[in-house]
Amino acid sequence: MDFSLRPWSLDDLESLVRFANNINIAKFMTNQFPHPYNVEHGRAFIEMASRNTPRNILAIAINGQASGGIGIHPQGDIHCKNAEMGYWLAEPYWGQGIITKAIIQMVEYGFANWDINRIFARPFGTNIGSQRALEKAGFALEGRFTNTLFKNGEYLDELVYAVRREN
């Protein structure tokens, strides 16, 4: 299935709220990704995602409709050569290889636009789909931190996957 990565706009508000308001997505995200997800959350997100140049948070557009998001977050201080990647995809599009391709495109975009040497992602130990997508995109598992995260009343493992510029 074809998709594109593009900047967010207020025109995306309706599809953002429709797709993001999903417990099956929220359960794999930090608590900064609220559930339920409403219009106010969506408007604040789009405003935040539109601030930086170059844009570091992009919409995953499928059939012209914002159907997920992906971002590169450069780190500071002694971690300044690293960036964290985060992403989500609307549930109707899971299992179609879209997120793997979006990760690959975002890695290329990240290395082209920021002076970084490593991009990492931190999926939950329970998010097998995300782990597989990262592996297919060339990321390697660097670490597993047992029962580090606390989400929805339970302890979860945190995994760290990364890809380096030289790979």
Q: How confident is the model at residue 57 (pLDDT cuts 50, 70, 90)?
A: very high
Nearest to 88 by CA among 23, 159, 41, 158: 23
Report whether pLDDT(139) > 90: yes
Distance CA 82, CA 28 (A): 22
Q: Which domains does the chain have, with CATH numbers?
A: 4-119 (3.40.630.30)
pLDDT in tens, 35-50: 999 999 999 999 999 9
Q: How confident is the model at residue 166 (pLDDT cuts 50, 70, 90)?
A: confident
Distance CA 61, CA 77 (A): 33
Residue 167, pLDDT score: 66
Q: What is the mean pLDDT of residues 67-77?
A: 98
Q: Judge whether 5 and 60 are in contact, CB under 8 Å.
A: yes
Q: How confident is the model at residue 1 (pLDDT cuts 50, 70, 90)?
A: confident
Distance CA 113, CA 69 (A): 18
Give the DSSP H or E segment for 130. Answer: helix 128-136
Tokens of 9: 């706009």
Residue 9 DSSP SS3: coil
Report whether pLDDT(80) > 70: yes
Average pLDDT, the chain: 97
Angle of helix 128-136 versus helix 98-113 axis, rounded to 10 = 60
Residue 138, pLDDT score: 98
